Amino acid sequence: MAAATLARRLGRSGVLPLCCRLPAWDRATRPPPSPLQPPGLPLAPCRSFSNNKIQVELDESSGVAMMKFKSPPVNSLSLEFLTEFSISLEKLENNKACRGVIITSALPKIFSSGLDITEMCGKSLEHYTEFWRAVQEMWLRLYGSNMVTVAAVNGSSPAGGCLVALSCDYRIMAENPKFSIGLNEAQLGIVAPFWFKDTFVNVVGHRIAERSLQLGSLHPAPEALKLGLVDELVPEEKLMEKAAAVMAQWLALPDHARQLTKTMMRKAVLDRLVAHREDDIKNFISFVSKESIQKSLRMYMEMLKKRKS
Amino acid sequence: MAAATLARRLGRSGVLPLCCRLPAWDRATRPPPSPLQPPGLPLAPCRSFSNNKIQVELDESSGVAMMKFKSPPVNSLSLEFLTEFSISLEKLENNKACRGVIITSALPKIFSSGLDITEMCGKSLEHYTEFWRAVQEMWLRLYGSNMVTVAAVNGSSPAGGCLVALSCDYRIMAENPKFSIGLNEAQLGIVAPFWFKDTFVNVVGHRIAERSLQLGSLHPAPEALKLGLVDELVPEEKLMEKAAAVMAQWLALPDHARQLTKTMMRKAVLDRLVAHREDDIKNFISFVSKESIQKSLRMYMEMLKKRKS
Amino acid sequence: MAAATLARRLGRSGVLPLCCRLPAWDRATRPPPSPLQPPGLPLAPCRSFSNNKIQVELDESSGVAMMKFKSPPVNSLSLEFLTEFSISLEKLENNKACRGVIITSALPKIFSSGLDITEMCGKSLEHYTEFWRAVQEMWLRLYGSNMVTVAAVNGSSPAGGCLVALSCDYRIMAENPKFSIGLNEAQLGIVAPFWFKDTFVNVVGHRIAERSLQLGSLHPAPEALKLGLVDELVPEEKLMEKAAAVMAQWLALPDHARQLTKTMMRKAVLDRLVAHREDDIKNFISFVSKESIQKSLRMYMEMLKKRKS
């Protein structure tokens, strides 16, 4: 147990924790939390990286960033959203004060609805290329992040939204059977890309992935827990508290060893997309630029517009 | 939800379902079920492909074929049986009216007893080659089928019989603890081929497969459910009703996306046999043509004959 | 069932068991257990291979060896221990009278504490090379053993101790929540080598391994059972009896088919270390010979010494 306590104190210093009296904390230069600071009101150490669609706050005292999707109505993954997402991840990754990030939604009932269909409709080949590259980029950064990533899934999370959750280190979902999660692409006549599938298989295993992907299932929260798609359910009002507790547990480990272990587990799947990135883009373009697909997309969007009004 | 309902209506048309008012059903040329047709007596749309050992009926109104193994006493997979099986699968695969197949046994208490030992005894090298190629062919067609395949396991299913069930998309087994299922080759001193093993691992995972294959376990139905070897158990009298319901659920998905997803999940394992098919045949021949093996096979068959009389 | 009974009688003869009246037992030359021998006191058939740190007794009547770790205080895997372990395994492997081995600890409360830190501290590069090669050698022999290997985990089993258990065919653990097991390297700032990870993934699957390795979790016995890290729990006083019963079940199978099946399941992971053995040694040396690591190891050992006195 002494070793564990020690490890907790070591933080990022990582590889040196076999001893108890090391000059441990290698980020001693950052200011300690002020003892005068009132609880619940972190003044100095909280830095905001918020931008248009994603709100980011870093609590430098704990090393934990909170990332909230805030792109009404349903946090769909548009090119702009994805770009902001990747930039935010990169900023946090490069910030030595940040060791972990909790990802959640600032909107009620929805975590993220997945890829934005309007990005796939009536645009140029250049646009499709740029869009798909942004989807890949987001996943490469998130699945390969050196930070501890915890998804606090406080609403439904279909398709690309599910991918975001699956790419984190840990998934906590609000205990609400009305919220569902899954890679439901097949329901829409679309095939999930191979790296969505790889990520899914790494979480739930081959058999559950095969069945769920073929049926395009959206699993209500209790079923998602049973299948291992999420790690635990908590009442919605306790979600953030639980996410913080889980984050603290993961941050108790020395960063360096944890990061190398994570890389060891995920490298094969990350490398596979890197090796086939251009083919994957070509596949997407050839699919999306079919006249038949374009026609259905246009009609689908019109239907959505009418429903709103 | 609108999208899901839509997808259900789209059927084979597959990739175009993002819109609600598509000229959906791409097989409109087939005759609709007659409103005058009495329920339970499908006259026109039911076509029979039955042959010697397997009875096949296709209900064109639902797009579902029923395939019943009818080769007494135990549906053993002889060369003739395997050839009929592959031909039936090919016919259905090429029939645009067929989208799914339910596989079951017409005999009581047994689904299939596995490979026919008489095909391995006292025959020529040419015969062994032909036989093993037929085993491979059956699996390549079944595991790689574009149709939805549901196994209604209404009896015991050892060795090759288990492989047939494992190769389907979904397995429902009669809730009878006297029925068992498993790759029990090791009990007989035989090693399951690598592609039997690959299929098994894809269903139950590495650990369960390692233990079950080494012990040559035959799992009673309740245990098979617990291990994930079958997906659900139902009372025997409800088996076909349940199989039809599951089939309807899978057929609610657009065929094209479902098929591509299935291929994505199974391709690696299918490709592996295709790449090593001739080596696999050589392995089988070298095993089966050993004098020691031939001697034991002859004595085993004599024992079976005596038992009968 | 006749076939199964037969198989049980066939033992090592393996590939010939399809018939019932074979001249079965191919080791008939060994002396049968004497009917005059008092129960519980196996005189003639029990041979001892014990050496300094590991006690080995082979009961030739059952074909089962008992291997007890007896290196106080905590059965740490020193170079000497590992060498004796590998030699013992090799002796048993080459002894036709031995078909299975039960591995347990002769010390209370601890199965094995894992790699011996003193072997990594203040030694020459040659020593580090020799030590790491011995760790690899032990695993290659144990994970690739042709014998049935059953771990009777009668105490805590962290890190390398857990690897020993994971490398067996079956794991039974004492039902004591104070005993824990896991690959907790990350807690100590160390990364488990890739072949520790491969062995772990083959037992518990990718997701559980990813989480457990990153957190460096030590799982109390009941949790270890739930995760599939061990196969069953029994009260400590019944552990050896249960291990013997499990061994008898596995030995009921013909050896040859079981061995080939085991090889088929484990070969890919074994081959991976064989292919990268020298790189793996270089990695270890480059890690352990860092001055910072050496410093922490020295201080850690001083701390342990002070704690003892």
C118: confidence class by pLDDT, cuts 50, 70, 90: very high
For A248, the closest chain C residue by CA position comes to C215
- Cα separation, A204 vs A210, in Å, equals 10
Mean pLDDT of B248-254: 96
Per residue in C255-285, pLDDT (tens digit) is: 999 999 999 999 999 999 999 999 999 999 9
From the list B194, B207, B293, which residue is nearest C16 (CB)? B293
pLDDT tens digits for C38-92?
Answer: 344 444 456 776 678 999 999 999 999 999 999 999 999 999 999 999 999 999 9
Predicted confidence at residue B302, as pLDDT, reads 84
Token pair belonging to A231? 């790690």
For A223, what's the count of Cα atoms within 13 Å in the CB-facing half-sphere?
12
Catalytic hit among A115, A140, A227, A251: A115
Query: In sequence order, what are the residues at sequence separation of 6 or more whose Cβ sits closer than 8 angstroms to the Cβ of residue A103?
Result: A67, A69, A149, A150, A151, A152, A164, A168
- Contact between chains at B264 and A197 (C-beta distance less than 8 A): yes
Are C31 and C268 in contact by the 8 Å Cβ rule? The answer is no
In a domain, C23, yes or no: no
The set of residues, in sequence order, having a beta carbon less than 8 Å from that of C44 and lying 6+ positions away, is: C31, C33, C34, C37, C60
Catalytic residue among A161, A184, A227, A253: A184
- Distance from the Cα of C6 to chain A's closest Cα (Å) equals 35
CB neighbours of residue B52 within 10 Å: 11
Q: Mark whether B160 is an active-site residue.
A: yes
pTM of the model: 0.87
d(CA A187, CA A218): 10
Contact status, residue A140 vs residue A167, Cβ threshold 8 Å: no
Percent of chain B with pLDDT strictly greater than 90? 74
Q: How many domains does the structure of chain A reveal?
A: 1
| Among candidate residues A164, A172, A174, the one with its CA nearest the CA of residue A199 | A164
Cβ-contact A246, A239 below 8 angstroms: no
Question: For residue B174, what is the DSSP state?
Answer: E
Distance (Å) from the C-alpha of residue B280 to the closest C-alpha of chain C? 14
Distance CA B85, CA C68 (A): 54
Determine the average pLDDT of the residues in A276-283. Answer: 98
Check C115, C218, C251, C253 and give the catalytic one: C115
The count of residues in chain A is 309
DSSP H or E segment with residue B115: strand B114-115
Q: Scanning the structure block, which residue is given the tokens 């890679």?
A: A183
* CB nearest A297 (choices: B18, B203, B264): B18
Query: Per the omega criterion (within 30 degrees of 0), is the bond before A73 cis?
Result: yes
Confidence of residue A180 (pLDDT cuts 50, 70, 90): very high
Hey, which residues does C232 pair with through a beta bridge? C172
- Which range among B57-71, B249-263, B293-307, C221-235 shows the weakest confidence by mean pLDDT? B293-307
Q: Is A5 a domain residue?
A: no
Instruction: Report, as an integer, the average pLDDT of A131-151.
Output: 98
- The confidence score (pLDDT) of residue B14 equals 33
Q: In C7-88, which ranges are E strands?
A: 46-48, 54-59, 64-69, 76-77
SS3 for C220? strand
Closest residue in chain C to residue A246, using alpha carbons only: C215
Chain B positions in Cβ-Cβ contact with residue A289 (cut-off 8 Å): none
pLDDT at residue B94 is higher than 50: yes
The residue ranges of DSSP E strands in chain C, in sequence order, are 46-48, 54-59, 64-69, 76-77, 100-105, 109-110, 114-115, 148-153, 155-158, 170-174, 180-182, 219-220, 232-234
C11 part of a folded domain: no
Selecting among C184, C229, C233, C273, the annotated active-site residue is C184
Contact C4, B187 (CB under 8 A): yes
Which is more confidently placed, C300 or A20? Answer: C300
In a domain, A33, yes or no: no
Q: Classify residue A278: in a domain, yes or no.
A: yes
| Beta strands B148-153 and A76-77, pairing class | unpaired
Which string of DSSP letters, residue by residue, matches chain A?
A: -HHHHHHHHHGGGTT-TTSSSS---TTTTSPPPPTTSPTT---TTEEE---SSEEEEEETTTTEEEEEE--TTT-EE-HHHHHHHHHHHHHHHH-TT--EEEEEESSSEES--EE-GGGGSS--HHHHHHHHHHHHHHHHHHHT-SSEEEEEE-EEEEHHHHHHHHTSSEEEEES-TT-EEE--GGGGT----HHHHHHHHHHH-HHHHHHHHHHT--EEHHHHHHHTSSSEEE-GGGHHHHHHHHHHHHHTS-HHHHHHHHHHHHHHHHHHHHHTHHHHHHHHHHHHT-HHHHHHHHHHHHHHHHHH-
Distance from CA of B151 to the nearest CA of A (A): 14
**What is this model's ipTM?**
0.85
B184 in active site: yes
pLDDT at B39: 41
Cα(A272)–Cα(A196) distance, integer angstroms: 12
Predicted pLDDT of residue A300: 75
- CATH classification of the domain holding A160: 3.90.226.10
Rounded to an integer, what distance in angstroms lies between the CA atom of residue A275 and that of residue A272? 5
Residue C267 backbone dihedrals phi, psi, to 5 degrees: -60, -45
Q: Which chains contact C through at least 3 pairs of Cβ atoms less than 8 Å apart?
A: A, B
Whole-angstrom distance, CA of residue C305 vs CA of residue C91: 36
Q: What is the mean pLDDT of chain B?
A: 86
The predicted-structure confidence for B35-89, as pLDDT tens digits, reads as follows: 333 344 444 456 776 678 999 999 999 999 999 999 999 999 999 999 999 999 9
Full domain range(s) for residue C221: 46-308
- How would residue A235 be classed by pLDDT, with cut points 50, 70 and 90? very high
Contact A136, A277 (CB under 8 A): yes
**Closest-CA distance of chain B to residue A146, Å:** 29
**For the residues B256-266, what does the mean pLDDT come to?**
96
Q: Does the active-site annotation cover B52? A: no
Type of residue found at C100: G
Number of Cβ atoms within 10 Å of the Cβ of A130: 16
Nearest to A186 among B203, B249, B261 (CB): B261
Token look-up 């190398």 returns A260
SS3 (DSSP) at B268? helix
Query: Phi, psi at residue B85, to the nearest 5°?
Result: -60, -50
